[in-house]
Amino acid sequence: MVSSSGFRVPSWNSGTGLDERSRLNPNPKSETLNSELRRASVAVIDNGICNLRSVTKALEAVGAEPRVVRTPEEVAAANATGLVLPGVGALRDCVAALRATKLDATVRDWIAADRPFLGVCLGMQALFDRSEEGGGVVGLGIFPGKVIRFQRPPEFKIPHMGWNTVRFVQSDSPLANSLGVDNESFYFVHSYHCVPEDPTLVLAECDYGGVFTAAIGRGRCFATQFHPEKSQAKGLAIYRNFAAVAARG
């Protein structure tokens, strides 16, 4: 069932060090912003197949307080205002781990309540109905749509791996704050891409032999196909913007 809000209800990059925090925030508004981010407690789901250290280090670098969680009980105990679902590897394993720990229901309920959420890579793909990967994977079904394998001319190698520019379709999204509408570069590693049924869900697009969805956003739910934690200064801006949303509760 789709609610009126549009929800369906049922290694840290080697080129970017933590000592560069001040340089990576060239336009700090004030110490008030920094203290606000320090109040952002963000639960990060450990599903056993994610680049957990890179994500938590990125959140720490922007002043947030990441708390690793593995069960619904740990999510509740963390009393966090934001939730991050990272993931690398196989979508089947990612979704299976969420279902085994009952965190699938936690993610579903969190997003339905419009609480700040950020999915990364597989954490974005898992939100849709189904994927072609591995003969077919049933996703969490939070958003109508599918995940399909790239079909590109031979000169475009699959997986799509490396830096590529994105265009923010939702330029007023808080996740895109301080970022240019066009030509911001982020790091991708994926062979499959999301195809939302609702085009208004698309937050950002990327062109790799054809345009595909690079990020989605609705309310305070965001997800990126690229890896912000591998994307140096611009990637930290994504985490900083999410932490700012989470800090507001």
Tokens of 86: 């990272």
Torsion of CA 195, 201, 206, 207, to 10 degrees: 50
Tell me which of 65, 74, 184, 229 is the catalytic residue.
229
The yes-or-no answer on residue 194 being catalytic is no
The yes-or-no answer on residue 160 being catalytic is no
Q: How many CA atoms lie within 13 A of 174 on its CB side?
A: 18
The yes-or-no answer on residue 190 being catalytic is no
Tell me which of 50, 94, 121, 206 is the catalytic residue.
121
Question: How far is it, in rounded angstroms, from Cα 158 to Cα 170?
Answer: 27
Nearest to 193 by CA among 175, 212, 211: 212
Q: Which residues are catalytic?
A: 121, 227, 229
